């Protein structure tokens, strides 16, 4: 790969690494017992979608530190996508989400596969299997990173950050669970965003790429100054798309966040601006399992009436500006700054 950033070519390279790695792991499972076929299938499917943003941030964390293109680094960067795949399987399981990318989520697909066998109690079995698939994907992320082909001394520089990545990802998921159903609060929602998504999506991959490359403290500080606000903007866009996006593009159920009463910034901003009567309207729908299109339209109308989507859009804009300003102080080569600006747009100016 030249200094020109070609997103499609990069995605194809990462897809090739992931498909080959997960196909091999699936064969290992089937060699143990062929009844593991549904589990092996979910492993193969787990990383079948995505824009490969996390791998790209890791790659450009390496390149911005002055290192050249490297197939070994690409394998290490691809491990970030397995972290994401693990998080998605666990998140869908926790939220009991039925769809992801327009397809059945892992636990739903496993329930369908098990039901064909005629065995009893397929739902709890499917959920247990999905949990184990997510656990195994996280372990496989570490394996792909460790066997990437990079020198051991390079890997040792970045390995401690893996502990922080896992700790903060788990903490963010726990915070969302603990605050789900609670009083909406924008500060709390942004903290969940930061730890559940923002850091492992942008900051940690960038820092891991930088540490692998031997980046100094000043460059790593610039990565964090870019990565945290951009990661927050990424998730804020996701929250907006959840209610105001086209489900044909998002591939998710529109009312998931409202039905689960999750602590999103969009809901918190709506609640903050609402009067007593409007809050009562919200209470009538939050957490209900029987929501229909009428409820959906009512919630969206209320959010628009109170200006919540516009305020979340402003949060996104502010954070993207903050992130791109940080690039100017990074001391990275021009081609790396261009790529990171392009990635900032790709992460936040999207329809799915």
pLDDT score at 330: 77
pLDDT score at 286: 83
| CATH code of the domain in which 150 resides | 1.10.600.10
Residue 148 lies in a domain: yes
Average pLDDT value for residue range 176-201:
95
Tell me the C-alpha distance between 283 and 31, whole Å. Answer: 52
Number of structural domains the chain divides into: 1
pLDDT score at 351: 76
Q: Report CA-CA distances (Å) from 269 to 98, 193, 236.
A: 27, 14, 12
Q: Residue 260: is its pLDDT beyond 70?
A: yes
Residue 1 lies in a domain: no
Residue 120 lies in a domain: yes
Q: Are 112 and 103 in contact (CB under 8 A)?
A: no
Angle at 132 between CA 131 and CA 138, to 5 degrees: 95
The region of weakest confidence among 5-19, 257-271, 278-292 is: 278-292
Q: For residue range 272-318, what is the model confidence (pLDDT) as tens digits? A: 999 999 999 888 888 787 888 888 888 899 999 999 999 999 999 99
Neighbours of 349 (CB within 10 A): 11
Place of tokens 């009512």: 298
Q: For residue range 26-61, what is the model confidence (pLDDT) as tens digits? A: 999 999 999 999 999 999 998 888 899 999 999 999
Residue 135 lies in a domain: yes
Angle at 66 between CA 65 and CA 71, to 5 degrees: 95
Tokens describing residue 256: 């998931």
Q: Are 202 and 228 in contact (CB under 8 A)?
A: yes
Residue 183 lies in a domain: yes
pLDDT score at 251: 67
Average pLDDT value for residue range 132-161:
97
Q: Are 57 and 344 in contact (CB under 8 A)?
A: no
Residue 164 lies in a domain: yes
Mean per-residue pLDDT of the chain: 93
Q: Express as a percent the part of the chain with pLDDT over 90.
A: 79
Angle at 19 between CA 18 and CA 24, to 5 degrees: 100
Q: Residue 1: is its pLDDT beyond 60?
A: no
pLDDT score at 254: 67
User: Residues 45, 49, 53, 59: is their CA dihedral positive or negative?
Assistant: positive
Neighbours of 258 (CB within 10 A): 23
Residue 241 lies in a domain: yes
Q: Report CA-CA distances (Å) from 283 to 4, 186, 257, 305.
A: 51, 17, 14, 17
pLDDT score at 153: 97
Q: Are 204 and 165 in contact (CB under 8 A)?
A: yes
Q: How far apart are the first and last CA of the chain?
A: 27
Residue 213 lies in a domain: yes
pTM: 0.94
- What HEC string does the chain produce? CCCCCCHHHHHHHHHHHHHHHHHHHHHHHHHHCHHHHHHHHHHHHHCCCCCCHHHHHHHHHHHCCCCCCCHHHHHHHHHHHHHHHHHHHHHHHHHCCCEECCEECHHHHHHHHHHCCCCCCHHHHHHHHHHHHHHHHHHHHHHHHHCCCCCHHHHHHHHHHHHHHHHHHHHHHHHHHHHCCCCCCHHHHHHHHHHHHHHHHHHHHHHHHHHHHCCCHHHHHHHHHHHHHHHHHHHHHHHHHHHHCCHHHHCCCCCHHHHHCCCCHHHHHHHHHCCHHHHHHHHCCCCCCCCCHHHHHHHHHHHHHCCHHHHHHHHHHHHHHHHHHHHHCCCCCHHHHHHHHHHHHHHHCCCC
Determine the structural domain holding residue 44 and report its residue range. 7-348
């Amino acid at each position: 790969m030249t200094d020109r950033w070609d997103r499609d070519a990069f995605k194809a390279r990462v897809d090739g690494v992931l498909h080959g790695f997960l196909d091999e792991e699936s064969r290992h499972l089937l060699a143990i017992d062929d009844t593991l076929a549904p589990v092996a299938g979910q492993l193969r499917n787990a990383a079948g979608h995505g824009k490969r943003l996390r791998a790209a941030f890791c790659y450009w964390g390496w390149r911005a530190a002055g290192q050249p293109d490297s197939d070994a680094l690409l394998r290490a960067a691809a491990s970030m996508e397995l972290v994401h795949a693990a998080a998605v399987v666990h998140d869908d399981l926790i939220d009991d989400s039925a769809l992801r990318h327009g397809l059945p989520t892992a636990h739903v697909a496993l329930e369908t596969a098990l039901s064909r066998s005629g065995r009893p109690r397929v739902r709890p079995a499917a959920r247990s299997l999905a949990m184990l698939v997510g656990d195994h994907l996280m372990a496989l992320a570490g394996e792909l990173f460790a066997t990437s082909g990079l020198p051991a001394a390079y890997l040792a520089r970045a390995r401690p950050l893996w502990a922080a990545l896992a700790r903060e990802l788990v903490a963010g998921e726990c915070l969302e669970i603990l605050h789900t159903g609670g009083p909406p609060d924008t500060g709390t929602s942004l903290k969940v965003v930061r730890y559940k998504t923002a850091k492992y999506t942008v900051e940690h991959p960038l820092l891991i790429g930088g540490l692998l490359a031997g980046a100094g403290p000043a460059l790593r500080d610039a990565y964090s100054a870019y990565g945290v606000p951009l990661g927050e903007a990424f998730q804020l866009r996701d929250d907006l798309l959840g209610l105001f996006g086209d489900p044909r593009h998002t591939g998710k159920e529109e009312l998931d966040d409202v039905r689960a009463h999750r602590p999103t910034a969009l809901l918190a901003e709506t609640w903050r601006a609402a009067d007593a009567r409007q809050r009562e309207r919200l209470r009538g729908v939050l957490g209900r399992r029987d929501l229909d299109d009428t409820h959906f339209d009512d919630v969206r109308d209320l959010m628009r009436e109170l200006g919540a989507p516009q305020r979340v859009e402003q949060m996104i804009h502010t954070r993207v500006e903050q992130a791109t300003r940080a690039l100017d102080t990074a001391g990275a080569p021009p081609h790396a700054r261009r790529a990171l600006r392009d990635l900032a747009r790709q992460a936040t100016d999207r329809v799915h």
